[in-house]
Amino acid sequence: MPELEQQLSALAAEIDWPATPNLAPAVRSALPASGEVAREARRRGGPVGTTFGRRWALAAAAVIIALAALVAYQPSREAIASWVNVHLFVQRVHVVPTPSPLPAGPLGERLGLGSQTTLADAQKQVSWHVMVPSKLGEPDEVYLQLPPDGAVKGEVTLVYAMRPGIPVAGETGVSVLVTEATGAIDANFFGKMLGPGTTFEEVTVAGHRGYWIAGSPHQFFFIDASGKFRSETLRLATNTLLMDWGGTVVRIEGKLTKAQAMEIAASLR
Amino acid sequence: MEGRPEEDSQLFTRAQRGDTAAYEEIVQRYQQVAFRTAYVITGSAADAEEAAQDGFVKAYRALGSFRSGAEPKPWLLKIVANEARNRVRSAGRRHHLELRLVERFRPGDAAPSPEAETVAAEDTRRLLDLVNGLSDEDRLVITSRYLLELSGEETAAALGIPEGTVKSRLSRALARLRATLGEVSHA
């Protein structure tokens, strides 16, 4: 080993690390009831990506993951994922994990959308064309989420703080979110994962297939190109239009009417 | 008579069946490396504690994705490190990480020591100062690999980058550190 590497290795023993806290009691008290994980593991037999944080604990506990339908559906998730880049699943939940009301900081940052960037920079870092809805104009903020936190080929979110005629979502202070990632929607799986009471309607905008989901908060699942299960919250907990835009999955969230959402989608350029 | 410590694989199998005591044992085994990894990323012991704690809870919920026979350390570190990075992102800033040496190497040590030992101590202090002064990217990879003593796979998991990128990043970081060290020595 060269000298510098040896010196660095020797340095390891000399570091005054902060004392490691005993995490076990706190972790144990935060674990779900015994048996829940085992049941999920048996049902799932594969990865899951749920969001967990202390502030979100109550909400996350209410997210009952209906993965049985997926596992029951043959062939396997890996094979399914190989058909297209991304499949989407939407599930109604009782309590949607939302950030604390209006904490300080940029709009998108507190929604966990990734790193703030500019439209031009985001475009440089992803392989697909990032579309902007001319109906809403230039976004107030742009965020980029790259792997491992984001989807395999990245995810770009356009944040619109306020727009005329569109109410601001109370807890987040955001009017509209437009999120884009490369992938596709498969209706065969999409419909199977919906909870009862969710309004779900197939729509077409400019020749592109999409789904209008209204009335309830949603948890959003998909398998990315690597076969990994991903879980995301539809962050505004409001109506959502999901579009399969020729290889790009676009989701438009906000307190929008169906007509408004479709108008926004139609103006994507 | 105490029995042999249970293998990780046995603990994970039990935990996957919902045995929280087994999972608690896993937490005990890996909390130090998890906490230190989170500390290196966040630069804050408080944030590191929260990240490690939430990471372990999240990992428990994702136990179904843990493949039997796989190495648990990279799997756990990936989850904990993601939590740590999320905290840095949501805070909008990273605390400046400044690693320190254990007491015996601090300047002003009153205990008499042989000259050679004093010189060695000074070299160690200077090297750590240089590591502390590296860019975030260089410091993270060097600290993970050498000071946390993570393997290439574990470093990749902790930093959320491919193992090949760890190698190239490490090589560049060492070259820069070596150059800086040379400049300091000749100053």
B30 contact A CB<8A = no
What pLDDT digit, counting tens, does each position of B122-159 carry? 788 889 999 988 998 999 999 999 999 999 999 999 99
B125 contact A CB<8A = no
Q: ipTM of this model? A: 0.85
Using CB atoms, pick whichever of A35, A36, A115 lies closest to residue B89: A115
Residues of B in contact with A15 (CB under 8 A): 99-102, 128, 147
The confidence score (pLDDT) of residue A43 equals 52
The confidence score (pLDDT) of residue B164 equals 92
Polymer length in residues for chain B: 187
CA closest to A32 among chain B residues:
B61
A50 contact B CB<8A = yes
Residue type, A140: D
A29 contact B CB<8A = no
Task: For chain A, state the CA radius of gyration.
Answer: 21
The confidence score (pLDDT) of residue B157 equals 92
Angstroms from A209 CA to nearest CA on chain B: 32
**What's this model's pTM, rounded to 2 decimal places?**
0.49
Nearest CA to A105 out of B41, B89, B43 is that of: B89
For A23-73, the DSSP string reads: -HHHHHHHSPPTTHHHHHHHHH-S-------GGGHHHHHT-----HHHHHS
B142 contact A CB<8A = yes
Tokens in use for B87?
């905290």
What pLDDT digit, counting tens, does each position of B19-30 carry? 888 999 999 999
Following CA atoms A36, A41, A47, A50 in sequence, which dihedral angle do they give, to the nearest 10 degrees? Answer: 0
What pLDDT digit, counting tens, does each position of B60-80 carry? 988 888 887 788 999 999 999
Top-confidence residue, A204 or B93: A204
Q: Which residues does residue A203 pair with via DSSP β-bridges, in sequence order? A: A210
The confidence score (pLDDT) of residue B172 equals 94
Mutation for testing the A interface, residue in B23, B24, B54 having most A CBs under 10 Å: B54
The confidence score (pLDDT) of residue B117 equals 52
Using CB atoms, pick whichever of A16, A53, A106 lies closest to residue B101: A16
Distance CA B185, CA A7 (A): 15
Least trusted range by pLDDT, from B22-26, B53-57, B120-124, B163-167: B120-124
The confidence score (pLDDT) of residue B153 equals 92
The confidence score (pLDDT) of residue A1 equals 53
Q: Do B90 and A105 touch (CB under 8 A)?
A: yes
CA closest to B142 among chain A residues:
A8
Count of pairs with CB atoms under 8 A, one residue in A, one in B: 158
The confidence score (pLDDT) of residue A2 equals 65
Q: Along the 269 residues of chain A, how does pLDDT read in single tens digits? A: 568 888 898 888 888 898 888 998 888 888 776 555 555 545 544 333 333 333 333 333 222 232 223 333 333 333 333 333 333 444 443 333 343 334 456 666 666 678 889 999 999 988 889 999 999 999 988 999 887 666 667 889 999 888 888 877 655 677 898 988 876 655 444 443 455 556 677 888 988 888 887 765 455 554 444 444 445 555 555 678 888 887 788 889 888 888 999 999 999 99
B97 contact A CB<8A = no
Angstroms from A213 CA to nearest CA on chain B: 28
SS3 A228: coil
Distance CA A229, CA A47 (A): 6
Distance CA A9, CA A7 (A): 5
B126 contact A CB<8A = no
Using CB atoms, pick whichever of B34, B78, B147 lies closest to residue A12: B147
The confidence score (pLDDT) of residue B67 equals 83
B162 contact A CB<8A = no
The confidence score (pLDDT) of residue B143 equals 95
B24 contact A CB<8A = yes
Angstroms from B105 CA to nearest CA on chain A: 8
B68 contact A CB<8A = no
Mutation for testing the B interface, residue in A11, A55, A116 having most B CBs under 10 Å: A11
Using CB atoms, pick whichever of A10, A31, A45 lies closest to residue B20: A31
The confidence score (pLDDT) of residue B62 equals 86
The confidence score (pLDDT) of residue A109 equals 61
